[in-house]
Structure 1
């Protein structure tokens, strides 16, 4: 490896945005460290990389973002092998759903542990190397759900709202050190995070929210079926990390932009009415 070859670390690279971003970065000449809880799940990633002719540029390493010791072990191994981490893509996460009363506390804790504390832990492990080099780019994969909460997705929205505050603070802290911090806010895209989420919605047969949850699921599945190609997000991430002065926030998708505009401009009671209508 050439000493000047940039190094990117991507979490949650076994599927979805993480997989596509790892391949897209490798295409642009990055030595890409694709991390995931179980490296045996790298089959789809390596097939995609081979088809793009960049399999040799991708290194698969284990990283469970809820395991502090493994985070430090993996980050230390990368720094020892390559001497640098230029880009961090905080993508690992999952979507937990259900109406607040029905979601067990252990699911709430798991959601926050992965989507919030996991991002914080990986970022803290990478920051010293970036700060010392005086350069780097950190991209946190948030969601429009971090700006607009939707019934039935309380745990997921809570985690993404938290990521908004974390990213703002980190951006201001790291700017004097030459480290760029960016927050992506994609709307629905055709990734398996939603299919997995649909199958793990918390609810009971006798729940007073059962019918409302069914309406939420019908609406969500319809949105997922017409969602755009997630490769668009991966391509946008590459553009962002190669930008000298990226913005803090990037809202991706036309429907999120309309939703945010409606929430900002309409009185809250009108917004509530629209959501209620959508759920009928």
Structure 2
């Protein structure tokens, strides 16, 4: 009953982790609000949620990199819903390239979506949550934000930024009863890699360790409206990132071959 009737707004809800969060939130009685650029896909997911769980799932088009659009969409949502209980900043993408091959336009796009989009969406709901004295902002970051590996320099930089933003926001928001959580999954079996890993080499190398989006979604929904600092998956990768903070040189030396799996 913790989530019964709660409005859970999810960016990047047209597939992958975002789609699965919507299903799991609906299963637990919440009202998932679906935001993404692919409106047709959102319609399909909304209809499926209604059919399977008997829960309405409002949906709207949103490009999180368009600041004017972000402001307009969230203003409309707050007006129509009367309140937003949980915001899941899930929209994001990555492209894996060595530094000499990085396209600067891709770099700007990654920061626009992965970082500036997260901040813009958060800012659109934070004052509302602060005034209510309750709410939860969940930012989907990545283990790449804790351990940067070859070919992921820009993507890792964006996720480092998300973790830094989340840590600062958590301290600020705690004064007003608003929870803030960072979710740091390792590689997840989604279409993310259709773009990030065009050759398919990385997916082939790490397929046995990849997380299912349903598993990540269950963990995310399980911590909604609770004062959870971080969700780190899988456990062994979390241990690795902790060791990395303690002895980065040693970890880089021992795990160098694994780091070049991309």
Normalised TM-score (structure 1) = 0.85
Change (3 A) 1:75 1:194: same
Runs of 4+ aligned structure 1 residues displaced above 4 Å come to: none
Q: Which residues of 2 match residues 231-242 of structure 1 at below 5 A?
A: 231-242=214-225
Deviation at 1:167, TM superposition (A): 0.3
Q: When the two structures are aligned, how many residues end up with a matched partner?
A: 257
1:60 is the counterpart of 2:59: yes
- Correspondence 1:1-280 to 2 at 5 A: 5-42=5-42, 45-46=45-46, 48-49=48-49, 52-54=52-54, 56-199=55-198, 218-243=201-226, 245-246=227-228, 248-266=229-247, 268=249, 270-278=250-258, 279=260
Q: Is the 8 A contact 1:42 1:60 kept in 2?
A: yes
> In 1, distance between residues paired with 2:39 and 2:150?
35
Q: Distance in 2 between matches of 1:251 and 1:58?
A: 28
CA drift of 1:224 comes to 3.2
Alpha-carbon distance change, 189 to 119 in structure 1, aligned in 2, over 3 angstroms: same
Contact 2:43 2:59 in 1 (8 A): no
Rounded to whole Å, the distance in 2 between the matches of 1:31 and 1:276 is 45
Give the match's secondary structure for 1:94.
Answer: coil
Shift of 1:43: 5.5
Distance 1:267 1:139 in 2: 28
Unpaired segments ≥5 residues, structure 1: 200-213
- 3-state SS, counterpart of residue 63 of structure 2: coil
In the alignment, the residues of structure 1 paired with residue 164 and residue 209 of structure 2 have an alpha-carbon distance, to the nearest angstrom, of 30
1:5 to partner: Cα distance: 2.9
Is the Cα–Cα contact under 8 Å of residues 186 and 211 in structure 2 kept in the other structure? no
Higher-Rg member (1/2): 1
| CA deviations over 1:85-133 (Å, ceiling 9, x no partner) | 0000000000121011210211111111110000000000111111111
Separation in 1 of the partners of 2:171 and 2:18? 25
CA shift digits 1:221-255 (9 cap, x unpaired): 32135413211111111111142x32x22211134
C-alpha RMSD over aligned residues: 2.1
C-alpha separation in 2, matches of 1:43 and 1:82: 18
Gaps of 5+ in 2: none
- TM norm structure 2: 0.90
Q: Secondary structure at the match of 2:151?
A: coil
Q: Does the 8 Å contact 1:30/1:57 carry over to 2?
A: no
Task: Specify the SS of the correspondent of 1:233.
Answer: helix
